Amino acid sequence: MEKRLSEAALKGSVDSLLELLQEDPLILDRIIVSCISETPLHIASVLGHVDFVREILSRKPELASELDSDGSSPLHLASAKGHLKIVKELLLVDSEMCMVLNTGGRSALHVAAIKGRVEVLTQLVWDVPESTRVLTDRGETVLHLCVKYNRLEALKLLIELMNKESVLVNWKDCDGNTILHIAVAKKQIETVKFLLSTNGVEVNTLNGNSSTALDILIHSPRDLRDMEIEDSLQAAGALSVKDLHLITNDRVPSKVSRITRRLTSQQSSLKKPPVVKHKHTDWLGRKRSALMVVASLIATVAFQAGLTPPGGIWQDTYARDPNIPKDKSHTVGTSVMATTEPIEYGQFMIFNTIAFLSSLSIILLLVSGLPIKRRRWMWIQMVIMWIAITAQVVTYFIALRHMSPTDINVQSMLREVTEISVLTWLTLMAVVFIGNVVRMNLWILRKYGYIKEKETTPSAAMDDEQEEEEEEEG
């Protein structure tokens, strides 16, 4: 009988259910007291058989509170699958099942959020608003799960429905992370922007590691999304924990603007403006990071070019025919270009090796641990980088010329492209060089008093002072 009942649930056959009930009116009661892993209501709920579910609930509503071997109720299964009509029927019978956690520590609302079932989420919140306050076994709210599984639409809906529960947007899980911490850690740009535009979200909350959302971004592996996320955070007033301590003296972030205004008013009444601690723009740090990225890229390209030179490598071994004057021998695995055009191959390898070794020398200097943090060392590394980039450009044109056919029109076009490119490159290099020379001369003239300093506001004076300190370090 139990096997036939399970088959009826799989098919969603109400007629089969009624027939079984006529044969044994107590069959549903036996299901409740038996030790089966899942009831027919579980099966029908996960498969979406609405009529079958409605018929069982009308005869034995107690089955709505039965749990399977994973601790899941029929409401868990229907919510995860997104069967809205079944969810409504189950809520009418026993709405308290919204508060029950399965063995994974999740409620029906949690599994619906993880799967992004927006309609089911709406129904659950409307019928049982207190279900939004149920936490997982890791102390996570349903909002944490939306961000964790990248369900932005579900997150927007829940925050809109829970507008009176603003405390939940700043709730911390067992690791002390709010939903903003998690969104930044997972580099979810759209989610971060939405949270920053939401009222009540605190951007400078500390997690269990005493890190703000901006700290998490700074210490995470860098990629192309970081700049956009960082701009959004800073536009919303996000600070690192270091800046929070400097500005607020370990007070709450909401008082930052008030303290800043008080300091500004005091500065206007004093003869000598006080030194206000401000965020240090790590110019050298940013330059080192940029040099490391570019050097790694050039080293990779040069290494690949050395292994696969233009024209590829010979796939066989050939012995020269003495009867053919221009015939040449070659060995499998050697460069085709080295055999056919040895002079150009030598030029190609020279410039490619310069680019490769120059980029590796920069990487070696940056990771060596030597005290090369002064500005003069940074300029030396930048000059090496110019050499590496220029050698890479020459390597590119040599390869391009080798791969181009000997047709007159093609060679003429290649010559024009090369001349324009080289002229543009030399012009750019000259502009950069002249700009740096002018900047150095202006700094020398200001340092020795040949150029009078212009009057500036206190904040601008502090910025100039910081720039001069960086110049003097160089």
Q: Give the span between the Cα atoms of 466 and 468, in whole angstroms.
A: 5
Closest Cα partner for 225 from 180, 179, 181, 189? 189
How much is the pLDDT for 392? 86
Is the predicted pLDDT of residue 257 greater than 70, yes or no?
no
Mean pLDDT of 129-139: 91
* This prediction's pTM: 0.53
Distances (CA, A) of 123 to 49, 88, 90, 118: 19, 7, 11, 9
Is the predicted pLDDT of residue 245 greater than 80, yes or no?
no
Is the predicted pLDDT of residue 472 greater than 70, yes or no?
no
Token pair for residue 466? 């910081």
Q: Exposed, middle or buried by CB within 10 Å (0-12, 13-18, 19+), for 425?
A: middle
**Could you tell me if 194 and 223 are in contact, meaning their C-beta atoms sit under 8 angstroms apart?**
no
How much is the pLDDT for 75? 95
> For helices 50-59 and 14-23, what crossing angle results, to 10°?
30
How much is the pLDDT for 250? 44
Mean pLDDT of 165-174: 83
Question: What is the percent of the chain with per-residue pLDDT over 90, rounded to a whole number?
Answer: 33
pLDDT digits (tens, 9 = 90+) for 396-449: 888 888 787 777 877 788 788 888 888 887 888 788 888 878 877 887 777 777
**Could you tell me if 328 and 419 are in contact, meaning their C-beta atoms sit under 8 angstroms apart?**
no
Stated as kind and residue range, the H or E segment containing 301 is helix 283-307
Is the predicted pLDDT of residue 272 greater than 50, yes or no?
no
How much is the pLDDT for 264? 52
How much is the pLDDT for 373? 57
Token pair for residue 99? 């508060």
Query: Greater confidence, 164 or 188?
Result: 188
Mean pLDDT of 174-187: 93
Closest Cα partner for 398 from 339, 455, 337, 445? 337
How much is the pLDDT for 136? 93
Stated as kind and residue range, the H or E segment containing 441 is helix 408-447
Q: Give the span between the Cα atoms of 159 and 36, in whole angstroms.
A: 39
**Could you tell me if 393 and 355 are in contact, meaning their C-beta atoms sit under 8 angstroms apart?**
no
Is the predicted pLDDT of residue 457 greater than 60, yes or no?
no
**Could you tell me if 204 and 181 are in contact, meaning their C-beta atoms sit under 8 angstroms apart?**
no
Q: Give the span between the Cα atoms of 157 and 118, in whole angstroms.
A: 7
The amino acid at residue 222 is R
Token pair for residue 54? 């409605």
Mean pLDDT of 236-261: 63
Question: What is the percent of the chain with per-residue pLDDT over 70, rounded to a whole number?
Answer: 82
Instruction: Kindly give, in sequence order, each residue whose CB lies less than 8 Å from that of residue 169, ignoring residues fewer than 6 positions away.
Output: 143, 159, 178, 179, 195, 198, 200, 201
Is the predicted pLDDT of residue 240 greater than 70, yes or no?
yes
Distances (CA, A) of 204 to 222, 228, 236, 260, 442: 21, 18, 10, 16, 40
How much is the pLDDT for 283? 53
Q: Strand pairing partners for 335?
A: 313
Is the predicted pLDDT of residue 228 greater than 50, yes or no?
yes
CATH of 1-134, one of 3.40.50.300, 1.10.3720.10, 1.25.40.20, 1.10.8.50: 1.25.40.20
Is the predicted pLDDT of residue 115 greater than 90, yes or no?
yes
Is the predicted pLDDT of residue 452 greater than 80, yes or no?
no
> HSE-up of 254 (CA within 13 Å, CB side)?
3
How much is the pLDDT for 284? 56
Instruction: Kindly give, in sequence order, each residue whose CB lies less than 8 Å from that of residue 434, ignoring residues fewer than 6 positions away.
Output: none
How much is the pLDDT for 465? 47
**Could you tell me if 197 and 180 are in contact, meaning their C-beta atoms sit under 8 angstroms apart?**
no
Query: Greater confidence, 376 or 427?
Result: 427
Weakest mean pLDDT among 91-95, 236-240, 464-468: 464-468
How much is the pLDDT for 105? 93
**Could you tell me if 313 and 334 are in contact, meaning their C-beta atoms sit under 8 angstroms apart?**
yes
Q: Give the span between the Cα atoms of 7 and 18, in whole angstroms.
A: 13
| Cα radius of gyration rounded to whole Å, the chain | 35
Is the predicted pLDDT of residue 279 greater than 60, yes or no?
no
For 203, phi then psi, to 5°, come to: -85, -15
**Dihedral (CA of 207, 210, 215, 219) sign:** negative
**Could you tell me if 64 and 75 are in contact, meaning their C-beta atoms sit under 8 angstroms apart?**
yes
Query: Greater confidence, 143 or 345?
Result: 143
Residue carrying the six token digits 């001069």:
468
How much is the pLDDT for 458? 43
Mean pLDDT of the chain: 81
How much is the pLDDT for 223? 79
Closest Cα partner for 164 from 139, 129, 131? 129
Is the predicted pLDDT of residue 211 greater than 60, yes or no?
yes
Q: Give the span between the Cα atoms of 450 and 54, in whole angstroms.
A: 92
> HSE-up of 145 (CA within 13 Å, CB side)?
27
Mean pLDDT of 78-106: 94
The amino acid at residue 289 is S
pLDDT digits (tens, 9 = 90+) for 286-326: 667 777 888 888 888 888 888 888 888 888 888 877 777 77
Instruction: Kindly give, in sequence order, each residue whose CB lies less than 8 Å from that of residue 321, ignoring residues fewer than 6 positions away.
Output: 327
How much is the pLDDT for 248? 53
pLDDT digits (tens, 9 = 90+) for 17-73: 898 888 888 888 888 888 778 899 999 999 999 999 999 999 999 999 999 989 999
Is the predicted pLDDT of residue 451 greater than 80, yes or no?
no
How much is the pLDDT for 178? 94
